């Protein structure tokens, strides 16, 4: 059992397996009590039982389908009202490898609901409470497809680009209010995500696929380093620093009362 002083409670979505379950284990060992959220009550109970036994932390389960408005509202209410919660890990989500012309639009809409709408509502539920207490951490699990939308399904890439953009906006608005935010961009990771999305990770080159344990440990190391964006598989962190510096620089020149010269030339040729 751990003798670590409690750091409050971490609410983790998608916590019944894979990345979410590993976050639960690691955060418990760091001194957090837990609220584990997922659809499968039996799987949640198994994760909770193991963590309680190995760490001695308090672990509560909350079975909920975050694509269901009633369940989502119930989890949001808990985030707003429970003052013990000091961390939210928005991990629940799913993906697809299907190209646009083969993808089921109903599944794409469901994906947006889970990856975007649910994450946004939970973030909006907890952020005011964290600001009021001038303390709290929000971790959003995005993906490398946020930067490379051509890699997998386009809606999946777009949903994770949203997660990245939202996180960067949260950092801009909340950093001086005592709230920590982090977007984690995993690459190919050995979890059940791939089978659900339509392809097993065994079909990928072995050198691309990171274990879920390594991914979570790297993400938490990035959090300790104060990173807003953590990309566990990116070997040279300076590449992200350069990319981000260029993005910020160009963002200062994206408004002007005149069209760019290249477009004015094109207009004059058509007169």
Q: Please give the full DSSP string across 118-186, using - where no structure is assigned.
A: IHHHHHHHHHHHHHHHT-EEEEEE--GGGT-TTSS-HHHHHHHHHHHHHHHHHHHHHGGGTEEEEEE--
74 C-beta neighbours (distance < 10 Å), count: 15
CA nearest neighbour of 156 among 118, 115, 121: 115
CA nearest neighbour of 179 among 209, 134, 128: 134
Q: Using alpha carbons only, how large is the chain's radius of gyration in Å?
A: 20
Q: Which residues fall within 8 angstroms of residue 254, CB to CB, at 6 or more apart?
A: none
Answer yes or no: 243 catalytic: no
Catalytic residue among 23, 32, 156, 162: 156
Name the residues annotated as catalytic: 156
């Amino acid at each position: 059992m751990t003798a670590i002083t409690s750091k409050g409670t971490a609410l983790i979505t998608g916590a019944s397996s894979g990345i979410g379950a590993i976050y639960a284990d690691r955060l418990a060992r760091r001194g957090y009590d837990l609220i584990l959220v997922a659809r499968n009550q039996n799987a949640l109970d198994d994760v909770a039982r193991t963590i309680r036994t190995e760490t001695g932390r308090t672990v509560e389960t909350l079975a909920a389908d975050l694509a269901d408005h009633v369940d989502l509202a119930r989890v949001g209410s808990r985030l707003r009202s429970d003052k013990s919660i000091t961390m939210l890990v928005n991990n629940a989500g799913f993906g697809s490898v299907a190209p646009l012309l083969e993808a089921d639009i109903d599944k794409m809409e469901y994906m947006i609901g889970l990856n975007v709408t649910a994450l946004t509502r939970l973030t909006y539920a907890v952020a005011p409470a964290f600001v009021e207490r001038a303390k709290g951490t929000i971790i959003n699990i995005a993906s490398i497809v946020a930067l490379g939308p051509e890699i997998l399904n386009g809606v999946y890439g777009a949903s994770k680009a949203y997660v990245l953009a939202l996180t960067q906006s949260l950092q801009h608005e909340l950093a001086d209010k005592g709230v920590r935010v982090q977007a984690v961009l995993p690459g190919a990771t050995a979890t059940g995500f791939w089978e659900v999305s339509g392809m097993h990770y065994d079909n990928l080159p072995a050198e691309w696929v990171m274990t879920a344990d390594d991914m979570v440990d790297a993400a938490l190391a990035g959090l300790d380093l104060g990173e807003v964006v953590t990309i566990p598989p990116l070997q040279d962190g300076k590449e992200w620093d350069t990319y981000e510096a260029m993005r910020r620089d160009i963002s200062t020149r994206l408004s002007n009362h005149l069209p760019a010269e290249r477009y004015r030339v094109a207009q004059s040729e058509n007169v």
